[in-house]
Amino acid sequence: MSRVLIENGRIIDGAGIAPVDGSVLIDADKIIATGRQADAEAVGMRDLTRVDATGMTVMPGLIDVHCHLAFDDAESNSELFFQRRNALSALVAAYNAKKLLRAGVTGILDPDSTFENMIDLRDAIDAGVADGPRMSCGAYALITSIGGTAGRMIRDSGITGYYMAVNGRDEIIGEVRRQIKNGADWIKVHVTGIVPRQAHKGEMCAWSDDELRLIVETAHDLETPVMGHCRGADATRRAALAGFDLLFHATGMDEAALEAVIERKIPIAPTLTFQANMADFGPKIGANPDLMKLFESELADSAETMRKAYDAGVPLLTGSEAGFSMVPYGDWHYRELEVFVRHFGLTPLQAIQCATQQSAFGLKMLGETGVVAPGYKADLIIVDGDPAKDVTVLGKPGAIRHVMVGGALKDLSPLPPRKPIPGWRVASIGRQLTRDIAFGLNATGGPIDVEELH
């Protein structure tokens, strides 16, 4: 399919402009005209495929800048660290990539992966061997021996799951160079981590300022950007001062951290979909109430600073953290837009701009995709509904009618069902069975609380 005319649609351009009715003309992998110009140029074109978008919205595809395709909806770090196999992990990720297309996602940044095998999936998609969104990716997430979010499960050196512990100047330089040589588009750093004995303090910065600068200098010398997982004001400020190019989360910023980010206009991907899902739907999965309150407070505490950053010109990008059971592939990629509207006070069009034009930064394709305009890649979706009025339309089953990546219309027919993979998941025997759970309050043989058994 070389030339396509999408006609009779409502166009959201992704650049924040109010929707307009009109057509979009595509030749090969690019948009060549929109509106009346598209209709005029289409007249007399041979081999033209027409797509009727009457009553629907034509817009850039969603770009998810925090999606872990290799994690396969993991329920625990133990699964990722000890249950997975390299080739099978990549094959399963290729299956899951198709779920993203069906959710209207045309591009992702995969920050880190087990066996760093998403570099291979990216190359397979680029070569047409596998089908999926555009991808950019990191390799292993760099940590110190006390970094990461899995405490003593992480080895003091070398690889644990999707982490690479580096100790000292030589290891840092060597690993950054190795990842770039092997094809990493980005270098990922877990700037913060949890120290088990001090977990009550939350995540702590696990690097010195010199180490953070060394990572950035080494990567930038090889023209590769650096992204950082940062929670807390201290880590966010230090990563900003060290020259990081993209910050994940950046929650809990104080004035000094916010000033450092604003001064450098460092894009932030808050990636609060996980927290929003836990806060809104935690009771349905039996989540711990204290954990739910923690995530609710993280959302509330982040709203003001994120809005200040946005108003000061800091790009906010959208990421789902898909790859964990709380945010399964295909279901929640629109949800970060809802967070931006509901919690940060952005308009739907502003949130869409964050998820398209701005998030193209994560693909290293800023100015090349994410906008419906001549010269941009034809990475488009056609939506039954008007996301300019309600971004949750993007998550309604069946609302994504067509998906196009590089001018090619994608197959959105249902995927074949998956069967369980032996040894792939960590078996669970369920919640702790106390007498209170088994027999009721104080184990007196009173009535059973049925809700407690779910």
Coil, helix or strand at residue 42: helix
pLDDT at 1: 55
Cα distances from 173 to residues 17, 179, 207, 217, 225, in angstroms, run 44, 10, 14, 9, 15
Task: Write down the pTM of the prediction.
Answer: 0.94
Identify the structural domains of the chain with CATH numbers, from first to last. 62-333 (3.20.20.140)
pLDDT below 50 — which residues of the chain?
A: 443-454
pLDDT at 454: 30
pLDDT at 186: 99
- In angstroms, the first-to-last Cα distance of the chain is 50
Contacts of 208 (CB under 8 A, 6+ apart): none
What is the overall mean pLDDT for the chain? 93
Cα distances from 398 to residues 67, 106, 349, in angstroms, run 22, 17, 21
Residues 162-206 pLDDT 10s: 999 999 999 999 999 999 999 999 999 999 998 888 888 888 999
Strands 105-110 and 62-64: parallel
Contacts of 234 (CB under 8 A, 6+ apart): 204, 205, 257
pLDDT at 39: 96
pLDDT at 434: 67
Residues 34-79 pLDDT 10s: 999 999 999 989 899 999 999 999 999 999 999 999 999 998 899 9
